[in-house]
A and B are shown apart, each in its own frame.
Chain A
Amino acid sequence: MNLDVILFALFAIGAVASAVFTITRRNPVAAAMSLIGHFFMLAGLYLTLHAQFVAVVQVLVYAGAIMVLVVFVIMLLNLGNEQQLTERISMRTTIGTLVAALFAMQVVTGLLARPTGVNTQHADAAMIGATAGIGNALFTTYIFPFEAVSILLLAALIGAVILAKRHLHEGI
């Protein structure tokens, strides 16, 4: 058994376990922390695929920025009384169960149809996953989608500022 397999097993089990914790914890902070743990496990999985840049950006953006905001809001609102957040709407549970069942079917189909033990990793995987490789691809081949996404983000940013400022003007 080589190191790759052991690391993959560790990170995969960790990822699944933390994902399960995320949706089973009643305490919102515990759920958020499990999600952060899950992001770290995903970053580890990316590392086993030689995708250093994606792995670090995963931690930097998701665990380091987005989840900080989530935890901040949970703490600011001090979401207590988590016991009251019981399943009042049975409709939600029904639809959720159906979607979960569909997803489970897809996973099982995927598992049955998997390629048998062939290492399909690209020969230059380490080069492609490096910062230079991703940067070159983003600014040459994928320049249009990249710029489109950045304009989308800019629009969202301006929208957020305007939404936040509207109340100020009404107040005055």
Chain B
Amino acid sequence: MNLSILITPVIQAAILVNVMLIGAAYMVLAERKVAAWIQNRIGPNRVGPWGLFQSFADVFKLYLKEDIVPAAADKTFHSMAPVISIAVAITAYAIIPWMDNVNIGGTTYTLSMAPNMDVALLVMLAMTSVGVYGIALAGWSSNNKYSLMGGLRSTAQMISYELSMGLSAVGVLMICGSLNLVDIIRYQTEHGWNVFYQPLAFVIFLVTALAETNRAPFDLPEAEPELVGGYHTEYASMKFGLLYLAEYANILASSAIMAVLFLGGWDLIPFVDEIALMGLAPDSLPAVLIGHAALAGKAALLVFVFIWIRWSLPRFRYDQLMNLGWKVLLPLSLANITITGIVLLLMK
């Protein structure tokens, strides 16, 4: 058996996971900085220049804390829940096409784990829906009424919103004719970004992504005035850290998927083939790096939008949340599919 087919993915995965986890750690810092900026404060600025090492200080603090497990908790599931959360969040990174194939001296390299997977988008949706087990188990195993309420709320919320999320992506699939994320990016490079053809789907996807990642204004599972800390009330030390990290890792994954589905992925300027104008081959190193930077920049912008929304909007009430999901977003996403189908048929 050729060992390289095992070793190469392991190295790729190690790089990807570490970069993403450090990215997620820095999102915590970004969240605090943006929050401070929006609230006219300074924010963390003690650890390193502009507080840049604050994330590492936070993680060290979490590691040094005592890991307290409640006596009445279900020990196995209490330990398993953060692991499920973070594992599912990281699995989603495998299908995101971070970078095009790059040709250096005749050999092809890539950073993506499963770039040309036929069902990549479905994997993403599957991972989003499986992610709920981490939160639900964390809430249930803590044996605390606030945790259980948080876990139940999160489960109900995710069931309600993942339907609209999947249906809003159908519009994109109908236009591009593929579930393969690389094909979707290539289509957008040629024909312009999907956000111009599917603005409604983009808005629905953004709202459902906020709900799926339990972000404000949909952060009812951890609504602190009602539920103390929600599903992670009974967590301490790095187990709490993992739940927290999984939340941010999910936000980053959702942002990247939105950038790929609606904002053109590797494409820097819509309707312009800027790579050809600069006289670069599509698989040369500078062209691929520009594409990678474009995708990362769009994802970072969407992450900023997530944070911006959190510190601008108040939390929904529970009935408002359910009404919005079932009575507004679901009919709208179904209407979007119907209209897209009719338009595609007329244009044929």
Residues of A within 8 A of B (CB): 1-3, 27, 29-30, 33, 36, 52-53, 56-57, 59-60, 63-65, 68-69, 71-72, 75-76, 78, 130-131
Whether A68 lies near B129 (C-beta < 8 A) is yes
Residue B304 lies at the interface, judged by CB distance under 8 Å to chain A: no
Tell me which residues across on chain B come within 8 A of A33, comparing CB atoms: 77, 133, 137
Residue ID in chain A nearest B180 by CB atoms: A131
A160 to chain B, nearest CB (A): 14
Tell me which residues across on chain B come within 8 A of A1, comparing CB atoms: 1
Tell me which residues across on chain A come within 8 A of B133, comparing CB atoms: 33, 36, 68, 71
B152 to chain A, nearest CB (A): 6
Tell me which residues across on chain A come within 8 A of B77, comparing CB atoms: 29-30, 33
Render B100-132 as a binary contact track against A, CB cut-off 8 A, 1 for contact: 000000000000000001110011011011101
A133 to chain B, nearest CB (A): 10
Whether B159 lies near A60 (C-beta < 8 A) is no
Could you show 19 A-B contacts with beta carbons less than 8 Å apart? A27-B74, A29-B137, A33-B133, A53-B119, A56-B119, A59-B130, A64-B129, A65-B129, A65-B159, A68-B136, A71-B136, A72-B156, A75-B136, A75-B139, A75-B140, A75-B152, A76-B152, A130-B118, A131-B179
Tell me which residues across on chain B come within 8 A of A76, comparing CB atoms: 152
In-complex Cβ contact of A131 among B119, B130, B137, B151 (8 A): B119
Tell me which residues across on chain B come within 8 A of A56, comparing CB atoms: 119, 122-123, 126
Whether A52 lies near B119 (C-beta < 8 A) is yes
Whether A68 lies near B179 (C-beta < 8 A) is no
B233 to chain A, nearest CB (A): 16
Residue B245 lies at the interface, judged by CB distance under 8 Å to chain A: no
The complex places the Cα of A112 from the Cα of B156 at a distance, in Å, of: 47
Whether B126 lies near A72 (C-beta < 8 A) is no
Whether B126 lies near A60 (C-beta < 8 A) is yes
The complex places the Cα of A131 from the Cα of B120 at a distance, in Å, of: 11
Whether B126 lies near A59 (C-beta < 8 A) is yes
Total B residues in contact with A, Cβ cutoff 8 Å = 30
Whether B1 lies near A3 (C-beta < 8 A) is yes
Tell me which residues across on chain A come within 8 A of B128, comparing CB atoms: 64
Instruction: Summarize A's interface: helix, strand, loop or mixed.
Output: helix
The complex places the Cα of A163 from the Cα of B125 at a distance, in Å, of: 30
Tell me which residues across on chain B come within 8 A of A72, comparing CB atoms: 136, 152, 155-156, 159
Instruction: Summarize B's interface: helix, strand, loop or mixed.
Output: helix
Residue B210 lies at the interface, judged by CB distance under 8 Å to chain A: no
B285 to chain A, nearest CB (A): 31
The complex places the Cα of A63 from the Cα of B131 at a distance, in Å, of: 10
Residue ID in chain B nearest A126 by CB atoms: B118
B338 to chain A, nearest CB (A): 16
Beyond A27-B74, A30-B77, A53-B119, 11 additional pairs, beta carbon < 8 A: A2-B1, A33-B77, A52-B119, A63-B126, A64-B128, A65-B129, A68-B132, A68-B155, A68-B158, A72-B159, A75-B139
Of residues 12 through 58 on chain B, the ones whose CB sits less than 8 Å from some CB of chain A are: none
**Most chain B beta-carbon neighbours within 10 Å: one of A29, A60, A65, A130:** A60
Residue ID in chain A nearest B129 by CB atoms: A64
The complex places the Cα of A57 from the Cα of B129 at a distance, in Å, of: 12
A138 to chain B, nearest CB (A): 15
The complex places the Cα of A76 from the Cα of B145 at a distance, in Å, of: 11
A141 to chain B, nearest CB (A): 20
Tell me which residues across on chain B come within 8 A of A57, comparing CB atoms: 122
Tell me which residues across on chain A come within 8 A of B307, comparing CB atoms: none
Residue B184 lies at the interface, judged by CB distance under 8 Å to chain A: no
The complex places the Cα of A72 from the Cα of B148 at a distance, in Å, of: 11
The complex places the Cα of A125 from the Cα of B130 at a distance, in Å, of: 28
Residue ID in chain B nearest A6 by CB atoms: B1
Whether B126 lies near A64 (C-beta < 8 A) is yes
Tell me which residues across on chain B come within 8 A of A36, comparing CB atoms: 133
Render B234-254 as a binary contact track against A, CB cut-off 8 A, 1 for contact: 000000000000000000000
The complex places the Cα of A138 from the Cα of B11 at a distance, in Å, of: 40
A109 to chain B, nearest CB (A): 35
Known: A52-B119, A53-B122. A69 touches B152 (CB 8 A): no
Tell me which residues across on chain B come within 8 A of A75, comparing CB atoms: 136, 139-140, 148, 151-152, 155
B85 to chain A, nearest CB (A): 14
The complex places the Cα of A60 from the Cα of B117 at a distance, in Å, of: 16
Known: A60-B129, A75-B136. A131 touches B118 (CB 8 A): yes
Known: A3-B1, A60-B122, A60-B125. A68 touches B140 (CB 8 A): no
The complex places the Cα of A32 from the Cα of B264 at a distance, in Å, of: 40
A73 to chain B, nearest CB (A): 10
Tell me which residues across on chain A come within 8 A of B123, comparing CB atoms: 56
Residue ID in chain B nearest A58 by CB atoms: B126
Whether B122 lies near A69 (C-beta < 8 A) is no
The complex places the Cα of A108 from the Cα of B148 at a distance, in Å, of: 45
The complex places the Cα of A76 from the Cα of B159 at a distance, in Å, of: 15
